[in-house]
Amino acid sequence: MARVLIFGGHGKVALRLEPLLVERGHTVTAVVRNADHEADVVATGATPLVADVETFDLDQLTNLVAGNDVVVWSAGAGGGNPDRTYAVDRDAAIRSMDAAVAAGVRRYVMISWIGSRKDHGVAPDNPFFAYADAKWAADEHLSSSPLDWTILAPGTLTLDGPTGRIAIDPDGRGEVTRADVAAVAAAVVDDPATAGRSIRFGNGDRPIADALQG
């Protein structure tokens, strides 16, 4: 079983992912910025670690990720402030990748979004531009790294219950439940064959394990 470190450990996807990984026998550490969120993480079976990844430099992040087998990036600034979006979704994410390389942690799973591509089509004057630009920059850095990376790119997130079924490269907005995003992430952590793949998905008709096989 693996030691898994999750950045953004109090996010809506991460709080669903943590118990899935614990159930699979993994040792899970969830990085949170706010100490008030520790109890929620403990309730999932994971161990909270309070750290502000927005301000951590490369050496601090390298020390933080060292000793783990898998890094999962599920952190984000939450939109609203373009400067902070770039600081977290791009810059901190990239530092975490470089830290994984420096620490010898080969496996890295990025939770991105379905529109993350160079030609994302979001206009610079659109409030969503900073997020689209930052996520693409981070994903591009990851895919160019020596890590055993997987980029998960779900569509529009919902709070519906889990379905256990997805579609790869869905039409439209690719709506998908956060619970199913967590289930896909858990499956990917356990499946080294998904390394080197960007997986765009939404809810669909195929069981997750089957869909991930291609």
> What's the pLDDT tens digit per position in 76-99?
998 779 999 999 999 999 999 999
* pLDDT > 90 fraction of the chain, expressed in percent and rounded: 94
Is the pLDDT at 121 greater than 90? The verdict is no
Name the CATH topology of 3-212.
Answer: Rossmann fold (3.40.50)
- What pTM was computed for the model? 0.96
43-54: average pLDDT: 98
Residue 93: alpha-carbon gap to chain centroid:
10
The pLDDT value recorded for residue 80 is 77
Domain ranges of the chain: 3-212
The pLDDT value recorded for residue 33 is 96
Q: Which amino acid is at 74?
A: S
The pLDDT value recorded for residue 69 is 98
The pLDDT value recorded for residue 118 is 86
**DSSP, residue by residue, 85-128:** HIIIIIIIHHHHHHHHHHHT--EEEEE--TT-STT----TTSTT
